[in-house]
């Protein structure tokens, strides 16, 4: 469903993030004008606050070049084992060869909408943390994806959306999407990225008001 829409989205990302002839700069290939330290550090805070042991698996759905995962590996207090999926083969190649080469087999090319179908080895394991930007999905595809994902989340699902995307969609925060309003989440105060934290133990229930 909606293949043409995803094809248009993919073409947009390729055109915008990977203009031909330009060098692949670390930040711009993920859509940033500069390295987003303060946004990425907010993920670090969330993961550290909810960590349960010396090691944890983290899946970024729409991982781009693996830059965020690499940041987490460098900054969180536990050992991060990264996993990622992205529909741009060039971004996944970057994650495999440049940013997370020691875990190259954990990265796959595919539409987040279809996860875990087609994700090979990634699918069976379950993850301590899953990071998901709801804006990557067409309306109608989000709720079924989230319900599949919650079965794979062992600790926390982190919904995240960057401010420019929220502005362009006229939305207030990372959980302000039709397909995730049924979740119980804690909304973190806005900043360089909007984050909504969904504990694995309570995948459904009444949505809380933003604070
Ligand atoms: C803004 S970048 C974010 C990269 C990384 N997660 C971060 O926070 O730095 C968004 C990425 O999502 C990917 N993407 C968007 N929609 C997707 C979809 N439906 N399936 C797979 N990847 C998608 C794009 O190719 C792009 O690399």
In this prediction, residue 26 carries a pLDDT of: 79
Task: Write out the two tokens for 77.
Answer: 């207090």
Is residue 208 a part of any domain in this protein? no
Is residue 209 a part of any domain in this protein? no
Is residue 145 a part of any domain in this protein? yes
Per-residue pLDDT in tens (0 to 9) along the chain, 211 residues: 589 999 999 999 999 998 875 666 778 889 999 999 999 999 999 999 999 999 999 999 999 999 999 999 999 999 999 999 999 999 999 999 999 999 999 999 999 999 998 776 655 669 999 999 999 999 999 999 999 999 999 999 999 999 999 999 999 999 999 999 889 999 998 899 999 999 996 544 333 433 3
Domain extent, residue 170, equals 3-199
Contacts of 113 (CB under 8 A, 6+ apart): 6, 137, 138, 141, 145
Is residue 62 a part of any domain in this protein? yes
- How many structural domains comprise the chain? 1
Q: Where are the alpha helices (DSSP H) in the chain?
A: 3-17, 37-50, 67-75, 89-94, 142-150, 163-169
In this prediction, residue 14 carries a pLDDT of: 93
pTM of the model: 0.93
In this prediction, residue 117 carries a pLDDT of: 86
Mutate to test the pocket of ligand 1, among 12, 33, 86 (most ligand atoms within 8 A of CB): 86
Is residue 210 a part of any domain in this protein? no
CATH code of the domain in which 169 resides: 3.40.50.150
The alpha carbon of residue 128 and the mean position of all alpha carbons in its chain are separated, in whole angstroms, by: 14
For ligand 1, the distance from its centroid to the CA atom of residue 52, given in whole angstroms, is 27
- 66 within 8 A of 82, measured Cβ to Cβ: yes
In this prediction, residue 181 carries a pLDDT of: 87
For ligand 1, the distance from its centroid to the CA atom of residue 133, given in whole angstroms, is 8
- 142 within 8 A of 180, measured Cβ to Cβ: yes
Task: Write out the two tokens for 204.
Answer: 């459904």
For ligand 1, the distance from its centroid to the CA atom of residue 203, given in whole angstroms, is 24
Specify the ligand 1 atom closest to the Cα of 9: 16
């Amino acid at each position: 469903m909606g293949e043409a829409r995803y094809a248009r989205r993919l073409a947009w990302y390729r055109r915008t993030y990977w203009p031909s002839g330009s060098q692949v700069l670390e930040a711009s290939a993920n859509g940033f004008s500069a390295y987003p330290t303060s946004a990425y550090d907010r993920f670090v805070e969330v993961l550290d606050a909810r960590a349960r042991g010396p090691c944890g698996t983290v899946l970024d759905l729409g991982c781009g070049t693996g830059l965020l995962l690499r940041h987490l590996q460098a900054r969180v207090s536990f050992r991060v084992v990264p996993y990622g999926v992205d529909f741009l083969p060039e971004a996944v190649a970057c994650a495999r060869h440049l940013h997370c080469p020691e875990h190259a087999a954990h990265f796959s090319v595919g539409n987040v909408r279809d996860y875990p179908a087609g994700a090979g080895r990634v699918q069976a394991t379950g993850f301590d943390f899953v990071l998901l930007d709801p804006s990557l999905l067409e309306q109608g595809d989000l709720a079924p994806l989230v319900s599949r994902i919650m079965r794979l989340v062992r600790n926390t699902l982190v919904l995240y959306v960057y401010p420019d995307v929220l502005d362009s969609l006229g939305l207030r925060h990372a959980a302000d999407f039709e397909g995730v309003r049924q979740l119980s989440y804690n909304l973190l105060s806005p900043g360089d990225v909007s984050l909504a934290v969904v504990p694995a133990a309570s995948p459904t229930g009444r949505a809380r008001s933003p604070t």
